[in-house]
Structure 1
Amino acid sequence: MANNFLKGLIFGSLAGGIYTLLKTPRSGEENREFLLDYLDDTTLLVDDVTKSLNDLKGAISTLSNEGKTLTNEFTQEVTVSIEEFTNQTEPRMRRIQEQTEKISKDITELDKQISPTE
């Protein structure tokens, strides 16, 4: 895509320069000087655009790599946090389970005591 853009820019610059040469009231010396200045300016602009595109590609690549690194770090941190949470809550969950079983057993015994024996 950038290649086509550069070709179009160069072709347009040349076409504009030729048209100007044919329609200008200036002398040949002035036209050559003007054309050389125009070509120099156009070359500088094309080089600047090319450099900017290369800088943009590098920035996108860097951003992509940093994003991958951050995603991996985030995933590892979340995994560690979940493991820590599980380890911290496991004893509590065990105590809650034991208490639930005890309450259930007590309710069963109470129910036996309250209900009339037949």
Structure 2
Amino acid sequence: MSARFMKGLLFGSVIGAAGGLLFAPKKGQETQAELKQVFDEGLANVQMVQQDVQTVQANLLQTQQLAQEILPTFQKELAQEIEDFKFQANPRMARIREQVQTLKQHLDAADFKKNKI
């Protein structure tokens, strides 16, 4: 870089710093206190989020462990319930089919007598 550019950069920095100090609406200590407060609040928020994430992760792990314990038993019981239902439903379905067949025979006989008259 040229010496002329460096002089301009230095001069601009000095003028900017002086202008900032002269026209700042608050004292430096007040600005520092506000910045510290904002930083502290931000840090507290980050720590709360980290704690929340850890809590969620712990709860998720606990839920996964509980699901691993409960699901196999639930699946076995559900499969048994389905088998029991099928066992009970098959004879009932057979009786229903027999009754439907009997009804068809009665209807056919009634139609035959009706057409004969």
TM (norm. structure 1) is: 0.53
- How many corresponding residue pairs? 78
Displacement after TM superposition at 1:77 (Å): 1.6
**2:87 matched to which residue of 1?**
109
**2:73 matched to which residue of 1?**
95
SS of structure 1 residue aligned to 2:94: coil
Q: 1:4-24 deviations in whole A, cap 9, x for unaligned?
A: 695277xxxxxxxxxxxxxxx
Displacement after TM superposition at 1:90 (Å): 2.8
**1:35 matched to which residue of 2?**
none
**1:65 matched to which residue of 2?**
43
Q: 1:57-87 deviations in whole A, cap 9, x for unaligned?
A: 0111121122112211210121111111221
**1:79 equivalent among 47, 57, 66:** 57
**1:56 matched to which residue of 2?**
34
Q: Which of these two proteins has the greater Rg computed from alpha carbons?
A: 2
Q: For the aligned residues, what is the CA RMSD?
A: 2.7
Work out which structure has the larger RCO, using CA pairs closer than 8 Å and 6 or more positions apart in sequence: 1
**What are structure 1's unaligned runs of at least 5 residues?**
10-45
For residues 91 and 43 of structure 2, what CA distance do their matches in structure 1 show?
70
For residues 92 and 58 of structure 1, what CA distance do their matches in structure 2 show?
50
One-letter amino acid of the counterpart of residue 102, structure 1: Q
**What are structure 2's unaligned runs of at least 5 residues?**
1-18, 99-117
Q: What percentage of residue pairs aligned between the two structures are identical? A: 8
**1:41 matched to which residue of 2?**
none
For residues 69 and 8 of structure 1, what CA distance do their matches in structure 2 show?
32
For residues 21 and 83 of structure 2, what CA distance do their matches in structure 1 show?
82
